Amino acid sequence: MTATALPEAPPGSPPRPGTAVRRAAPALLAFAAVRLLGVVVLAIWAQTAGKSAHKLLSGRWDSLWYQRIAEHGYGYTLHLSGGRVHSDLAFFPLLPWLEHSLAALTPLSTADAGLAVSWLASLAAAWGVFAVGDRLYGRRTGILLVVLWAVLPVGIVQSMAYTESLFTALAAWSLYAVLTGRWLWAGTLASLAGLTRPVGAAVVAAVWAAAALALHRDRAAWRSDRWMLPGALLAPAGWLGYVAWVGVRTGSVTGYPDVQGGWGNGFDGGAAFARFVGGRLTAPPFVGGVGLLVAVALLLWLWLRGVRQGQPLPLLAYTTAVLALALTGAGYFGSKPRLLMPAFPLLLPVALALARLRPRRAVLVLGAVALVSAGYGALWLNGSGPP
């Protein structure tokens, strides 16, 4: 099979909110249970190591940059040895805006506001992931898709004051809006995703791919659906707006790429990643390099399975863009696993396979994986963590 066209939207009005919540409830409860397990294991591990689980979740690495922006606005630059310049302009503004607003309206500190935003966004993301899976393959597959996303090895990031949960929520619901023909919602959510992370361009790609497909099938489609063109035009507004603002702020058309270059990030076609893998293949014990090659092969196999199973074009466009941006960009390798986290459609083939198992067996498999994921997340966050 090949990628399919957009599924037809169901006739009549959308389901009532109460019905939608009840339908998604098992997925949300399972997701909350997995995340609670991860936080509890982290707390126990951190206490044993003499560390603070709260600080690990809210006050390290990128979280500190977002908090600084929320409290003081943009303008902080860190000059490092070797000529690298770390500017806070590398961080997109939606999360710090939300942190600032929530801290101003509640007694929460900025750090706790960041956690609150992330935890609420993770539930919204789980619901959106379920909605996409349920829409395409049914309720059971939707639930399994959510649990698979929750038990990713780096799933602990979903509970941190990072942007992964917020971005995935916006991306998943934008994809769902595209699949159900709600173009204005799709464009609005894509625009907000573009204010969250650089990979917001992947959501734009999904919206544009869907619009292009609709126009290919019917050149007058934009007339029959008056919101298609506005939605497609709105989709890149957030991403383009922030990149343009950084350009004005720095006085350079290439302002944002230059800022990213100061962090050692940028697009190099995967050369840095290839050198990283090659370095581990040419030095004993070679296991690291082999493991990385197996991981990349698995990602590509899952993508190809999605194509063969007939995933809709918008999902394939989105997943392809996320994969390409993560694997062909320069930067610290340790960040790549969390950068791939929003590519949840890659998990659909696994969810479909689990859906064919007896429920008890699927629960046992996912329960075991959840325990391993919780342990790995605690180990990872108490160690090098997700810069």
Asked which of 70-84, 110-124, 179-193, 312-326 is least confident by mean pLDDT, the reply is: 70-84
Reported confidence tier of residue 1, pLDDT bands at 50, 70, 90: very low
Higher pLDDT, 205 or 5: 205
Give the mean model confidence (pLDDT) for residues 227-250: 95
- The β-bridge partners of 211 are none
pLDDT tens readout for residues 50-79: 999 999 999 888 999 999 999 999 999 988
Q: Which two tokens stand for residue 75?
A: 């303008």
Length of the chain: 387
Asked whether 225 and 213 are in contact (CB, 8 A), the reply is no
More confident residue, 139 or 82: 139
3-class DSSP assignment, residue 57: helix
Range scoring the smallest mean pLDDT among 107-111, 124-128, 213-217: 213-217
Reported confidence tier of residue 221, pLDDT bands at 50, 70, 90: low
pLDDT at 284 over 80: no
Tokens read off for 155: 């799933």
Torsion of CA 303, 306, 308, 310, to 10 degrees: -150
Q: How much is the pLDDT for 10? A: 43
State the sign of the Cα–Cα–Cα–Cα dihedral 71, 326, 382, 121.
positive
Average predicted confidence (pLDDT) for the chain: 90
- 372-385 pLDDT, tens per residue? 999 999 998 998 77
